[in-house]
């Protein structure tokens, strides 16, 4: 309902494409990387810094925000944009994945999922309709359908039952969305089916038959091997309509991003850049740099000599290593800024490469420097 998607240029030698997603809170150039903001913030970053580094859209977390600060506060704030003072697009997950990865004693049935809060053990029940209602209160620009993400490995019969229930849940969520969501909100369907191609095909056919605004590939980056991820990614992506945004959930490292965009994915998210920053690791053009190591105690060069970000223009490896070593919060901040900037800049370079029909060349150049 809310978003409009345009494909601007398709790469001649791969399925990669440049596009733009128009939303009520601004345009999102694709392929894009989306920083994850779980508790109403992209950890350690202010919204001014996110804006300065070139973030175009951030992710909010339905499960976490529902538990704290809760929907009463969210409604009084007028939604997450106002609450956190971020005036660009926000995408929210539906909460199902977080229930399964975080809460205790979940019980799943046809109607939804009963779970206990990982914070205080209180009992809650999420249904497809409840998930959309919470995402309405958050007032996110792009919402996700309520799904079950089955971990890997899982047996065929369970994945089949789960995938078919997720399709029934998607229909319920879409009906509720049409009735209750704000006009500027959009809703994505999520394709499941585990590592089984026949189930992936059935899920893709039935999910794309519903008029969602975009489609996600779910059930990946949950413990499968890189080969399995790429195999399912390359099998499933072409089954999604070309004229709508495609989102590969939970991805990832630079190679997973390149493989996703090469397959025709437009959007990706991952907690990786801020998570590894908090334990003293930087993503650089020449691979990962564990800057907390003593080797960098007297290294006064930037994290990445080819990076023009705020951190690399102003601080040395020695200083950042010192901050991490004495557990100073600024250490995590400077590393988070650089890691997020690096992935956002990589996406900008990928968009440029696609415009010039040299995506594969750029990928090879990046891989050889990175050490893949």
222: partner contacted, choices Zn ion, ligand NEZ, none (Cβ within 5-8 A by kind): ligand NEZ
Which of 17, 64, 338, 345 lies at the binding interface for Zn ion (CB under 5 A)? 338
144: partner contacted, choices Zn ion, ligand NEZ, none (Cβ within 5-8 A by kind): ligand NEZ
Of the chain, the end-to-end C-alpha distance in Å amounts to: 41
Q: How far is the CB of 43 from Zn ion (least distance, A)?
A: 17
By CB under 5 A, the residues from 297 to 316 that bind Zn ion are: 307, 309, 311-312
Q: Does 94 bind ligand NEZ (CB under 6 A)?
A: yes
Q: What is the distance between the alpha carbons of residues 79 and 96, in angstroms, rounded to a whole number? A: 21
Q: How far is the CB of 51 from Zn ion (least distance, A)?
A: 17
37 is in an annotated binding site: no
- Residue number with CB closer to ligand NEZ (197 or 286): 197
- Residue number with CB closer to Zn ion (85 or 301): 301
The reply to whether 269 belongs to the active site is: yes
Per the structure block, which two tokens stand in for 331? Answer: 């250490």
Q: Of the listed 213, 266, 269, 304, which one is catalytic?
A: 269
Residue 260-289 contact track with ligand NEZ, rule CB under 6 A, x = bound: ---------x--------------------
> Could you tell me the CA-to-CA distances from 149 to 133, 178, 190, 191, 328 in Å, in that order?
20, 24, 10, 10, 37
Q: What is the distance between the alpha carbons of residues 350 and 11, in angstroms, rounded to a whole number? A: 11
Q: Which residue has the tokens 């620009």?
A: 141
The reply to whether 120 belongs to the active site is: no
HSE of 319 in the Cβ direction (CA atoms, 13 Å)?
A: 14
Taking a C-beta distance cutoff of 8 angstroms, is the pair 361, 352 a contact?
Answer: no
Taking a C-beta distance cutoff of 8 angstroms, is the pair 72, 103 a contact?
Answer: no
- Residue number with CB closer to ligand NEZ (173 or 250): 250
Nearest residue to ligand NEZ on Cβ basis: 250
Q: How many residues does the chain have?
A: 372
Q: Is it true that the peptide bond before 153 is cis, omega within 30 degrees of 0?
A: yes
Q: What is the distance between the alpha carbons of residues 129 and 262, in angstroms, rounded to a whole number? A: 34
Residues engaged in binding ligand NEZ (CB under 6 A): 36, 38, 59-61, 93-94, 96-97, 144, 147, 149, 190, 218-222, 249-250, 269
Active-site residue set: 93, 269
């Amino acid at each position: 309902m809310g978003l409009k998607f345009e494909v601007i240029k398709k790469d001649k030698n791969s399925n990669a494409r440049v596009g733009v997603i128009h939303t009520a809170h601004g345009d999102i150039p694709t392929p894009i990387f989306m920083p994850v903001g779980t508790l109403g913030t992209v950890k350690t970053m202010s919204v001014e810094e996110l804006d300065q580094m070139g973030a175009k859209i951030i992710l909010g977390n339905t499960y976490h925000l529902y538990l704290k600060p809760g929907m009463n506060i969210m409604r009084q704030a007028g939604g997450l944009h106002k609450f956190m003072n971020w005036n660009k697009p926000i995408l929210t997950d539906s909460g199902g994945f977080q229930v399964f990865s975080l809460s205790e004693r979940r019980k799943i049935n046809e109607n939804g999922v009963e779970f206990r809060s990982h914070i205080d053990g209180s009992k809650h029940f999420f249904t497809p309709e409840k998930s959309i209602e919470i995402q309405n209160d958050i007032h996110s620009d792009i919402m996700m359908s309520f799904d079950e993400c089955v971990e890997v490995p899982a047996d065929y019969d369970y994945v089949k039952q789960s995938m078919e229930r997720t399709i029934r849940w998607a229909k319920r969520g879409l009906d509720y969305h049409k009735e209750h969501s704000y006009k500027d909100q959009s809703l994505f369907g999520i394709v499941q089916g585990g590592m089984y191609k026949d189930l992936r095909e059935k899920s893709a056919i039935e999910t794309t038959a519903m008029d969602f605004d975009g489609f996600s590939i779910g059930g990946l980056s949950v413990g499968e091997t890189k080969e399995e991820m790429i195999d399912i990614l390359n099998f499933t992506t072409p089954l999604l309509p070309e004229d709508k945004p495609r989102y590969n959930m939970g991805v990832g490292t630079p190679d997973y991003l390149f493989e996703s965009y090469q397959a025709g994915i437009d959007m990706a998210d991952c907690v990786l850049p801020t998570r590894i920053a908090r334990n003293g690791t930087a993503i650089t053009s020449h691979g990962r740099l564990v800057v907390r190591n003593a080797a960098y105690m007297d290294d006064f060069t930037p994290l990445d000599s080819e990076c023009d970000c705020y951190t690399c223009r102003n601080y040395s490896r020695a200083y950042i290593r010192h901050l991490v070593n004495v557990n100073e919060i600024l250490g995590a901040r400077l590393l988070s800024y650089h890691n997020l900037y690096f992935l956002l800049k990589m996406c900008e370079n990928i968009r440029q490469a696609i415009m010039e029909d040299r995506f594969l060349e750029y990928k090879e150049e990046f891989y050889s420097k990175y050490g893949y």
